[in-house]
Amino acid sequence: MRLFNYDGGLMRSISKFTDCIGLSLLFLVSCLPIFTIGTAMTATYHTAYKVLHHDRGYVFRDYIESFRDNFKQTTPVWLIALVLAVLLGVDGYIMDYYAKAGSIPAALGVVFLVGMIVWFVWTSYLFPYMARFENTRKQSMKNAILFPVIHFPMTVLMMALAAGTGFLMYLFPFLVVLLPAIYSWIQSYILEWIFRKYMTEEERKLEDERNRKNYD
């Protein structure tokens, strides 16, 4: 029966499902040392875009290659992002302490919340960008600040996706072995629409040709 052929709908669905589990587990294991989280995010986006989005390559091989190739470039950037996150966390803790003591208005907690949202949006663009483009660390960080402002509607859509993913994992913790890859997979459709605008015509044609060959 064609249903059970390798290229059939059922087998392709099973393959995608197992790929999502494999990619999510690779991401989770890679995040354990903490200082590798940025590289793990980069490799996950690269693999989701290439393997899940365009059916090119293999999850384990492409993830490991991307992780290895991007480690030196992304680790210092992630450490900067991590320091900023820690500073925001400390400020939030201090603000909450004084708000409970009545020394400052509790409404100032909104400042901390906005800061964390800005940080999350920034990193959500930053590491996928580094997965897709070769650039200096400084320019990558700068571009990741500009993208959310220039493409605000798509940023809102991506944040809704992140919120929905986080909510599902809160309700069903076992989905942590599946949703990180699915999130990156769906995220790739949003971000690639943006990234294509900054590619040259030659780069777009080359990318389209690679994807077309795979589907022929």
pLDDT digits (tens, 9 = 90+) for 160-211: 999 999 999 999 999 999 999 999 999 999 999 999 999 888 888 888 787 7
**For residue 107, what pLDDT band results from cuts at 50, 70 and 90?**
low
Tens digit of each residue's pLDDT (9 = 90 or more) over 48-93: 999 999 888 899 999 999 999 999 999 999 999 999 999 988 887 7
d(CA 130, CA 106): 38
* Phi, psi values for residue 143, rounded to 5°: -60, -35
Residue with tokens 């693999």: 47
d(CA 46, CA 137): 17
- What residue spans of 101-200 are helical by DSSP H? 109-132, 137-150, 152-171, 179-195
Predicted local confidence at residue 89, as pLDDT:
86
Over residues 86-115, the mean pLDDT reads: 76
Single-letter code of the amino acid located at 202: E
Single-letter code of the amino acid located at 172: F
Enter the pTM of the model.
0.89
Provide the domain count of the chain. Answer: 1
Tens digit of each residue's pLDDT (9 = 90 or more) over 22-42: 999 999 999 999 999 999 999
- Residue 54 belongs to domain spanning: 2-215
Ranges 72-76, 93-97, 118-122: which has the least confidence: 93-97
Residue 136 has pLDDT above 90, yes or no: yes
Q: How many CA atoms lie within 13 A of 119 on its CB side?
A: 18
